[in-house]
Amino acid sequence: IANPRLTKRLTISVSGIEDGDLVISDARQKVTKTNSGYEYEVSVGETSSKTSVTLPITSAEYLPLQASAPFLEAKDPELTRLAAEICGKETNALAAAGRIKEWVHSHMTPDASIGVPRSALEINRKRKGVCRDYATFFAGIARAAGIPTRVTGGIVYQDGRFFYHAWVECWTGEWVPFDPTQPADFVDATHVKFAQGDVTDMFKVASIV
């Protein structure tokens, strides 16, 4: 893939997935079962802030993805203060999520030596890590800001091959992906998702990658 960060469409065959819960079809990726496994068709559309919902989001459907969870201390005063500082008076959910993505990317430092999972609070106190830490930190802040957010795990194409990767998705009227490890807002089609939900759901990808 010559320009993975610009790729808008991808078709890929994947084998070795035995857990059906790790086969996810949604508006961004369509999955078809084949004789050897699954075929994923990933297509990236355009997202506009004009179609975004307004904060606060109070629908009961999304309350669990605004709540605290293991590794995500969304109601802790430290994270709620940080979320308020980053988002300010922004009430457009997509714009607020974009602010959080930009802030996390610019305030984190890549560090592959950190091998153990850490919570959003722990990451805030030592802002270094890998994609898992970037995604966890983003999700903790975004939930503290009242934005329904799920952590996602899968693979991404980088340096000539696919690697394990973690990113996030926010509900802003539709599910919109954000990859805080990347400088650009565009989340390319080589992001193939196998898990979504809380941080513990992201860990399930380890069984197939």
Q: 122-164 pLDDT, tens per residue?
A: 999 999 999 999 999 999 999 999 999 999 999 999 999 999 9
Per-residue DSSP letters for 186-197? ---TT-EEEEEE
Q: Computed from CA positions of residues 204, 75, 182, 32, in that sequence, does the dihedral angle turn out positive or negative?
A: positive
63: Cβ contacts below 8 Å, ≥ 6 apart: none
Tens-digit pLDDT profile for residues 158-192 = 999 999 999 999 999 999 999 999 999 999 999 99
DSSP label of 205: G
Distance from C-alpha of 16 to C-alpha of 128, rounded to nearest angstrom: 32
Query: CB atoms < 10 A from the CB of 91, how many?
Result: 14
Residue written as token pair 């009961």: 60
Q: Is the pTM of this model over 0.85?
A: yes
Q: With a cut of 80, say whether residue 49 has pLDDT above it.
A: no
SS3 124: helix
